[in-house]
């Protein structure tokens, strides 16, 4: 309850409200989730992967057909299962054992047998081999940049020649300075999250969801330092934030 470690908060989300933690819409709350909502949840994953592969083929690699894929921050398998249907193997990686257990149940229910689930850490130490596609969306803003930049570099190392990294990063928050300061305190000061929960009349143990901003030019410079010069970037501005979807291809 008192931890300021984002990964511990994510593990609590995984055990308490895993689908809502992935897509924060009320129909995915554990006490509301029904078969219709579950089907819609996984349909969004199919659509997301279909659009991502189309973008890669249109802008980076015509005919791109990944054989081995990594879904970083896989949660309950929303995207991993979609990747597994399009590749020989899909590896789902997450820091929450509860999420991974639920992902395996979802794979079994869907008849997907070529998905592998691994627990993540700061160096991705359990990941072996290389990948044609490393994919991550709605994940890195939960990770503080000092760790996230190292994870990005590690993911680039996992790309095969001609492989593609597709990652979404938050690069701006459109909030007044006092709100940004309050969110920083909530994330970094022990007991602060509990105080916020009490003020909002939520259960005191409700975990925090951090919104960490990345330095977009620094990320692009890192890609160049790693020998990747072919990129395609989509920028999206919403009311509360702006994010970038970066597609980066390792030279073949």
Hey, what domains does the chain have and what are their CATH numbers?
Answer: 6-249 (3.40.50.150)
Long-range contacts of 236-240 (CB under 8 A, 24+ apart): 239/174, 240/173, 240/174, 240/175
pLDDT of residue 105: 98
167, 174 in Cβ contact below 8 A?
A: no
How sure is the predictor about 2, in pLDDT bands with cuts at 50, 70 and 90?
low
Mean pLDDT, range 207-219, rounded to an integer: 94
SS3 114: coil
Helix ranges (H only) for 139-215 are: 145-157, 177-188, 192-199
pTM: 0.94
**Given the structure tokens 């925090």, which residue do they identify?**
208
Burial of 94 (0-12, 13-18, 19+ CB in 10 A): buried
Closest of 73, 132, 86 to residue 250, by C-alpha: 132
pLDDT of residue 205: 85
pLDDT of residue 167: 98
**Given the structure tokens 């072919």, which residue do they identify?**
230
Q: Is the pLDDT of residue 135 over 90?
A: yes
To 10 degrees, what angle do helices 192-199 and 177-188 make?
A: 120
């Amino acid at each position: 309850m008192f931890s300021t470690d984002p990964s511990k908060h994510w593990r609590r989300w995984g055990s308490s409200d895993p689908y809502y933690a992935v897509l924060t819409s009320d129909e995915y709350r554990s006490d509301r989730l029904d078969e219709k909502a579950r089907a819609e949840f996984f349909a969004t994953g199919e659509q997301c992967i279909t659009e991502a592969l189309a973008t890669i083929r249109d802008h980076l690699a015509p005919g791109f057909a990944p054989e081995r894929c990594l879904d970083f921050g896989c949660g309950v398998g929303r995207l991993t299962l979609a990747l597994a249907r399009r590749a020989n193997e899909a590896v789902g990686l997450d820091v929450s054992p509860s999420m991974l257990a639920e992902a395996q149940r979802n794979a079994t229910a869907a008849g997907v047998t070529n998905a592998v689930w691994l627990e993540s850490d700061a160096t991705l130490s359990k990941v072996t081999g290389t990948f044609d596609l490393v994919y991550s969306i709605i994940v890195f803003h939960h990770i503080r940049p000092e760790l996230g930049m190292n994870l990005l570099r590690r993911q680039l190392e996992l790309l095969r020649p001609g492989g593609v990294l597709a990652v979404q990063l938050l690069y701006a928050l459109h909030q007044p300075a006092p709100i940004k300061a309050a969110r920083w305190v909530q994330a970094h000061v022990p007991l602060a999250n509990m105080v916020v929960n009490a003020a909002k009349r939520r259960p005191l143990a409700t975990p925090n969801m951090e919104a960490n901003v990345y330095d977009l030019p620094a990320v692009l410079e890192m890609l160049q330092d790693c020998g990747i010069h072919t990129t395609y970037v989509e920028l999206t501005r919403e009311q509360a934030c702006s994010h970038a979807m970066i597609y980066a291809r390792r030279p073949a």
